[in-house]
Structure 1
């Protein structure tokens, strides 16, 4: 069953669910907002950073799908959105799913196609004023990406720019935002650095000229199959030639596919996954460093420690002790 609701009715329900401001005892600078219990459970968290930049984190559970009936309205900010969990449809009726990101803004069209599917729904959005983004980019002496020229200039038209997959680099930054261990000024500076990192990674998607031939649907399926083979064999991955042969494509298409879909090389993807798995195992505190190194494919502890420190700026033992002491 699907619930049909207008955006305006939702805003009324949200207001009724939050008659008084909710104060976070740890992060008092945040704004918290309960999700209307008529539709689901969970919350919004808004974290204001510098003028013109806001992080929004949504964590909720929907027992039923929700179809949003919207009327055309203008959003004067750009939204860099990252879907961590959940599926549905966007305003154009195109499917959305966990692991995708997007940029949109301008005038939202009148539509009843936008659907949030039942189940866990989790996303992180960076809400940025166009003039703030312009100032940031131009301060580095770089031109504005062409796709954003009209949006930043304030042209009132709806846009949803080139959705792409959340790469391992983006995933790490997103998890660092959601699980930020700091407080006060340190937290704000840390979160702003991660927000700008995500903006730069997403803009890289936009400015990268599509000079290579786009993958066919069958090739995309085989690239995902290749990824799954890598993840099942992180301790002893196949060579590029063997991996390409296993999924039925040539080595060039394998390399090109990983760049287009995951934004990195085959072994760059594997390395990022290994390091993230190692980080999670360190946080569990249940295994020795040598065991974790072997699980993620390093026979030598010192080589693993060097790779981990290069990735996260701290050696594995120090990271584990730091996190377990929090």
Structure 2
């Protein structure tokens, strides 16, 4: 039976936080820390870590830090993958290496090839919401042997001697997995099954992102891939009112022809087609997840009339929006 450490009470003490942090990531004893810290409320919210398979932990948090909290412990050889959905997260200090800094909305990987002393300082008033997984070497070796996926081989590189971290392009799939992990309603055996399945999906999606990034770095070069990624994130942030192609090229620092060619290579779509497809995907989420009517969802993503929205939706998904479960016209 997988082990777990979780706390969903409205308030957590320093000792609670240390126990949570030590189990999946740092594998450290909290005895000395508990003596050093009083039993006082330090966090409001929920903090959970659970071993869903041997060597695979799923981690989730949605918290407000009520006071400063410092943590210093020995982190074992492992790979952590996470996604910050909202708020901020403190950098991870790594003795002998540069600190690891997360970017909101961007998946990050952090690997240590040997046990290393790490520290972290959370400041009072900081809010943070995110989810991810931690992989120990035995899990990665066992899982990699069962799944034929080039990206898994790239994950192994993060367990080589030293410290290595990467920030990957934003991923709608990972964002949805992380949000579902934080908001799932399940209890008991069904919750365990859901957490295990979601953790494995998270690992595979990270592997896909690594594989794609490796391919595109070979094709475009890391600098040009960075510009394309920046352009895509700017479009994602302004789907309803996107910048012009020329403005986009100017903001990311490349000429328009280069941006258009590299964007098509990276994502298989022109700039215009990418915006149209992402608008329709967002509209589908609004209909299915938020219960918006067809006309309202179309308006939200920039369509001037329900008829134009329905026609575009049918071309993209093969059926009209009215065919979605629970969809209504108004």
Judge same fold: TM > 0.5, yes or no: yes
Contact 1:82 1:166 in 2 (8 A): no
The 3 A distance-change label for structure 1 pair 53 and 94 is closer
The corresponding residue for 1:124 is 131
Would the aligned equivalents of 1:306 and 1:315 in 2 still touch at CA under 8 Å? no
Q: For residues 50 and 241 of structure 1, what CA distance do their matches in structure 2 show? A: 49
| Match for residue 103 of structure 1 among 94, 102, 110 | 110
**Alignment: residue pair count:** 280
- Seen in structure 2, the aligned counterparts of structure 1 residues 146 and 102 have a Cα distance that, compared at 3 Å, is closer
What does residue 15 of structure 2 align with?
A: 13
Distance apart, 1:121 and its partner CA: 1.3
Q: Deviations over 1:157-194 (max 9, x none)?
A: 45333232432232122223223355665554444343
Instruction: Report the Cα distance in structure 1 between the residues aligned to 2:264 and 2:175, rounded to whole angstroms.
Output: 16
Residue in 2 that maps onto 1:84: 85
How far apart are the structure 1 equivalents of 2:138 and 2:317? 38
Could you say which residue in structure 2 is the equivalent of 1:215?
A: 223
CA distance in 2, matches of 1:270, 1:116: 40
SS at match of 2:181: helix
1:61 CA drift (Å): 0.5
Cα displacement (A) at 1:120: 0.8
Cα RMSD (Å) of the superposition?
Answer: 4.4
Distance 1:307 1:248, change over 3 A: same
> Quick one: which of 198, 202, 205 aligns to 2:206?
202
- Counterpart secondary structure, 2:76: strand
- Paired residue for 2:26? none
Q: 1:291 aligns with which of 293, 296, 304?
A: 296
Cα distance in 2 between the residues matched to 1:242 and 1:272? 19
Structure 2 distance, partners of 1:204, 1:215, is 20
Q: Aligned residue for 2:52?
A: 49
> 1:279 is matched with which residue?
285
| 1:188–1:140 CA distance, 2 compared to 1 (3 A) | same
TM-score, with length taken from structure 1: 0.64
Alignment of 1:131-210 (within 5 A): 131-142=138-149, 144-146=152-154, 148-149=156-157, 151=159, 157-180=161-184, 187-207=191-211, 208-209=214-215, 210=217
Higher mean C-alpha deviation, range 46-55 or range 268-277: 268-277
How much has 1:289 moved relative to structure 2? Answer: 1.5
Note the residue ranges of structure 2 that are not aligned, 5 or more in a row.
1-11, 21-38
Instruction: Report the TM-score when normalising by structure 2.
Output: 0.64
Distance 1:109 1:49, change over 3 A: closer
